[in-house]
Structure 1
Amino acid sequence: MNKKYLVPILVVAIMASFAAGLYVGKSGESSAKNINLATNQELGKPQPVDFSLFWDVWNKVENEYVDQSKLDAKKMLYGAISGMLRSINDPYTLFLPPDESKKFQDDMRGDFEGIGAEIGLRKDILTIIAPIEGTPAQKAGLQPQDVVLKINDAATDNLNLDEAVNLIRGPKGTAVRLLVMRDGWNGPKEIEIVRDKIAVPVLKLEFKDSDIAYVRLYQFTENSPDEFNKAVKQVLKSNAKGVILDLRNNPGGYLEAAVNIAGWFLENGNVVAIEDFGNGQRVEYRSRGDGGLGDRPVIILVNQGSASASEILAGALRDDLKSRLVGQKTFGKGSVQQLDNLANSASLKITIAKWLTPSGQSIMNEGLEPDVTVDITEDDITNSRDPQLDKALEMLK
């Protein structure tokens, strides 16, 4: 089957962490068939292409390469496919061999060991999207927009996203060294992080000043709507006069989860997001709910780690509900990836569209500017201050 997702920047790939994170999903069946290397030279051509050069090189290597023990036809095929996709220069379109495909799908289920951070490529530079709450990555001090220059001794400038993920993730109790650069630093710093079992939280509900409901969504998983529904029932019983929806460091997740949650704020039938396929074809995703929380003011907290499905939900509530965004500009992960399961348990993540907010604003690369900009300094973090949350509370008083 295949799944459609917004990833981080899912891809957003999680450092043994995204999920998907930047991730949004849809299901279907793949029509992939087993490929016979020797005979299916013209398989699936989208346009006239002369494959003779490919096969000339293949045969030369197969017949003349000095160390025949290094030749593995399956690995050569996988490498050729990966190279083809790299030529597109889209970090979110990737071929996943069987082992990497399994790791990715384990990540989406939350079954992984690593450091617990979402990573992505921004302008071909390996970048932290968001550390996951309570994970080794967060405890080590990683922040959104940190640039990763090295993983152990491997420079990251020639790594694709999945290669970087595979270097960072590893068994619980083992360590990985990241050479990190951050805005405001005079030079890069090496951070050693001990990997652990990553338990990704879904949400947290608290009541601030007794009558303000504070809901923090960590990512959009398959069970996020159920957990959110439970939280909403508590909010409605409390008669809270306002809601703060915290999407900071939320790298995204399943589109269906974002649309479902939007239904608690928007009346049934409101546009949540527009999927633009770039050929004149557009699909609208509409809310399916009673808008039970839409009769009270809603403030949305965002930052550079808010990506993908987070940006979709934030954009929809701002456009349709006139909710205000507080914090920092979001990441700008506005493309749609489809995950296709292929033969031999391999899979393909392919960008098929981009997302627009209900007003038609493109999220891709631009992100969402907050209505009220509030920065958080390293001194704030060190002293456990949260001026963004403080501002949201002030606005609801």
Structure 2
Amino acid sequence: MKHAILYKTMFAKDRPFFASLYTGTKVVNVMENEKKEVEPTQENHSGYIKMRKFSFVMLMFFLVFATAGITTFALAFGDEKAVNVGVPERTEFKKLYDTYDELKKDYYKDIDQDKLVNGAINGMIESLDDPYSDYMTKEEAEKFHESISSSFQGIGAEIQEKDGNIVVVSPIKGSPAEKAGIKPNDIILAVDGKSIHGMSATDAVMLIRGKKGTDVTLTVQKAGSDEPTEIKITRDDIPLNTVNAEMMDNGIAKVQITSFSENTYKELQDALADMEKQGMKGLVIDLRQNPGGLLDQAIKISNLFVPEGKLILQVEDRNGKREKIAAEGGKKIDVPVSVLIDGGSASASEIFAAAVSQSANIPLVGEKSFGKGTVQTASDFNDGSNIKFTTAKWLTPNGDWIHTKGIKPDVEAKLPDYANLPYLNPDKELKKEMVSSEVKAAEEMLKAIGLDPGKVDGYFDENTENAVKKFQENNKLSADGILKGESTMDLMEKVREKILQNDTQVKKAVEVLQKEKK
């Protein structure tokens, strides 16, 4: 799933795509996800935004395909008059038509006409060399629209194609992908043993997604590692409940936004109202691992924090013309705020982070964000297929283009080292006398949860065996000193719980917030 900022557009459906797409406005999305609209004229995002949709460009694009469609019909069925009825001849397509005719006439076996046309369109889009532009067949488009609805079935990770590789942008919080240890910048090399190198993100999504309860095995090259790892994941329902709130100590509320979906603004309003009832005195907005979502949602949410008249973002077309979107009046959050970002924060989450940082002086805490600074439009054809392509850049209030660069936090903070340990394959047995990088990772996990595996060196010695037995006894497992299956899964889950208990980035965000209060 790539993430993309999607405008409402003709024939379009609402939202990015998870496994997926993620970042758009209402066009009816990560690992792995919005309603029919009319043509892209000016739109008012619920009182927050008026934006031109580059109607001339879209009209020309539509005419190109209308012309191609009529001419192809004539070539296929021999009605020469059809070529000249109401549409001028497009000489730039002569080479394309000649190629079609030659193949249709002399290719050594029968040709699937739809496959030829789809291939031509796909080649046109691929020639843009833009990972955020894509052509989807009817089947792929159905998955795309499903992934941008309120829920879908899969593993819950957003991916993108980068330099021929399928790279994870971010797993969805609580998803099977996150629980299996999938992290930003992991490279997926194969799906169920089939190499996906050189494949588009859409094609990769088609392989990875599937029905709840079914398994998929990913061959993954973890970030910073040269050794591939096989990870079996059981697909599940991926609900897009995008806002999670909790009250911490001293009246500090933490609100996590996992993506910018159709209902995120309303979910956030409800969460903030609940936190205010509980006496909220400060607020941490957590955008970590947030791959983006709908542009209109990012604008509405930014408006809660950015003073009236201050810029939220700018959108620049290919001619350099900029549309400036400023905050309007309405309810504003008036308690001290800090915002958490990391390498999985992309697209719409970066729009929000840049807006509150540059226009509301709200501090950003954590790690540099992903760096996605383009805007996409998605449109359906009558046969159900779909194209998604980049139409503009988005810039921060100060006019910065963060594409591929990301946003640096005001205060850097990292998670503990054990938060970056690799996934352990539960189907693989780790036992005494073994030497491997997996054994070393297991030793580090045991040490992280307070057990003593001896020297952390990748050698499964007696001390390691005793630590595993102790772990198994503490968790009512068969104490055989061997890590496999349930023992492996439980060990990784305990480490995950430890990370949540010792979230150094949240602690730093609270510390920064308390300084702001003073």
Same fold by TM-score, threshold 0.5 exceeded? yes
CA distance in 1, matches of 2:349, 2:38: 24
Pairwise CA RMSD: 2.8
Native 8 Å contact 2:153 2:211 kept in 1: yes
Residue type at the aligned position of 2:395: L
Native 8 Å contact 1:171 1:196 kept in 2: yes
Deviation per CA, 1:191-240, whole angstroms, max 9, x where unpaired?
11111121122101111114101110011111111111112222333442
- In structure 1, what is the equivalent of residue 366 of structure 2? 327
CA distance in 2, matches of 1:260, 1:282: 20
CA distance in 2, matches of 1:78, 1:56: 17
Q: How many residues align?
A: 386
Report the Cα offset of residue 303 of structure 1: 0.7
CA distance in 2, matches of 1:258, 1:56: 47
CA distance in 1, matches of 2:90, 2:100: 20
Native 8 Å contact 2:281 2:335 kept in 1: yes
Native 8 Å contact 2:155 2:236 kept in 1: yes
Report the Cα offset of residue 124 of structure 1: 4.0
CA distance in 2, matches of 1:130, 1:22: 13
Report the Cα offset of residue 151 of structure 1: 2.0
CA distance in 1, matches of 2:84, 2:313: 38
- In structure 1, what is the equivalent of residue 342 of structure 2? 303
Native 8 Å contact 1:274 1:283 kept in 2: yes
The counterpart of 1:106, out of the listed 124, 146, 170, is 146
Residue type at the aligned position of 2:22: G
CA distance in 1, matches of 2:310, 2:26: 20
- In structure 2, what is the equivalent of residue 369 of structure 1? 408
Native 8 Å contact 1:11 1:92 kept in 2: no
- In structure 2, what is the equivalent of residue 126 of structure 1? 166
| Greater C-alpha Rg | 2
The counterpart of 2:256, out of the listed 216, 225, 228, is 216
- In structure 2, what is the equivalent of residue 275 of structure 1? 315
Larger fraction in helix: 2
Task: Tell me the TM-score normalised to structure 1 length.
Answer: 0.89
Larger fraction in strand: 1
1:83 aligns with 2:123: yes
CA distance in 1, matches of 2:280, 2:209: 42
Q: In the superposition, relative to structure 1, how do residues 13 and 378 fare at CA in structure 2: closer, same or farther (>3 Å)?
A: farther
Report the Cα offset of residue 349 of structure 1: 0.7
Native 8 Å contact 1:258 1:309 kept in 2: yes
Report the Cα offset of residue 117 of structure 1: 0.5
1:396 aligns with 2:513: yes
Task: Tell me the TM-score normalised to structure 2 length.
Answer: 0.69
Q: How does 1:1-397 map to 2 (within 5 A)?
A: 4=7, 13-15=17-19, 18=20, 20-25=21-26, 27-29=37-39, 32=62, 33=66, 35-36=69-70, 37-39=72-74, 50-68=92-110, 71-290=111-330, 292-293=332-333, 295-380=334-419, 382=495, 383-384=498-499, 385-397=502-514
Provide the identity percentage: 34
Report the Cα offset of residue 387 of structure 1: 1.0
CA distance in 1, matches of 2:256, 2:84: 51
Q: In the superposition, relative to structure 1, how do residues 327 and 42 fare at CA in structure 2: closer, same or farther (>3 Å)?
A: farther
Residue type at the aligned position of 1:307: A
Native 8 Å contact 1:93 1:349 kept in 2: yes
Residue type at the aligned position of 1:331: F
Secondary structure of the 2:148 match is helix
Residue type at the aligned position of 1:282: R
Deviation per CA, 1:265-322, whole angstroms, max 9, x where unpaired?
12233211111113121112222343521x3321111111101000000000000111
Report the Cα offset of residue 346 of structure 1: 2.1
Structure with more relative contact order (C-alpha pairs < 8 Å, separation 6 or more): 1
CA distance in 2, matches of 1:3, 1:340: 10
Residue type at the aligned position of 2:95: L
- Unaligned runs of 5+ residues in structure 2 are 9-13, 28-36, 41-58, 76-82, 421-494
Report the Cα offset of residue 153 of structure 1: 2.5
CA distance in 1, matches of 2:341, 2:162: 18
CA distance in 2, matches of 1:142, 1:78: 33
Q: In the superposition, relative to structure 1, how do residues 378 and 14 fare at CA in structure 2: closer, same or farther (>3 Å)?
A: farther
Deviation per CA, 1:155-204, whole angstroms, max 9, x where unpaired?
23210111111111111222222111123324121111111121122101
Q: In the superposition, relative to structure 1, how do residues 14 and 42 fare at CA in structure 2: closer, same or farther (>3 Å)?
A: farther
Native 8 Å contact 1:25 1:338 kept in 2: no
CA distance in 2, matches of 1:96, 1:120: 15
Q: In the superposition, relative to structure 1, how do residues 65 and 319 fare at CA in structure 2: closer, same or farther (>3 Å)?
A: same
Native 8 Å contact 1:308 1:332 kept in 2: yes
Q: In the superposition, relative to structure 1, how do residues 142 and 266 fare at CA in structure 2: closer, same or farther (>3 Å)?
A: same
CA distance in 1, matches of 2:325, 2:166: 31
CA distance in 1, matches of 2:416, 2:16: 26
Residue type at the aligned position of 1:29: E
- Unaligned runs of 5+ residues in structure 1 are none
CA distance in 2, matches of 1:23, 1:377: 33
CA distance in 2, matches of 1:378, 1:171: 35
Deviation per CA, 1:9-49, whole angstroms, max 9, x where unpaired?
x995322xx4x323344653287559242438899x9x975
TM superposition outliers: structure 1 runs of 4+ over 4 Å: 30-34, 40-43
Secondary structure of the 2:74 match is coil
Residue type at the aligned position of 1:337: Q
CA distance in 2, matches of 1:218, 1:59: 50
Secondary structure of the 1:329 match is coil
Q: In the superposition, relative to structure 1, how do residues 48 and 11 fare at CA in structure 2: closer, same or farther (>3 Å)?
A: farther
Secondary structure of the 2:18 match is strand
Secondary structure of the 1:29 match is coil
Residue type at the aligned position of 1:84: M
Native 8 Å contact 2:6 2:295 kept in 1: no
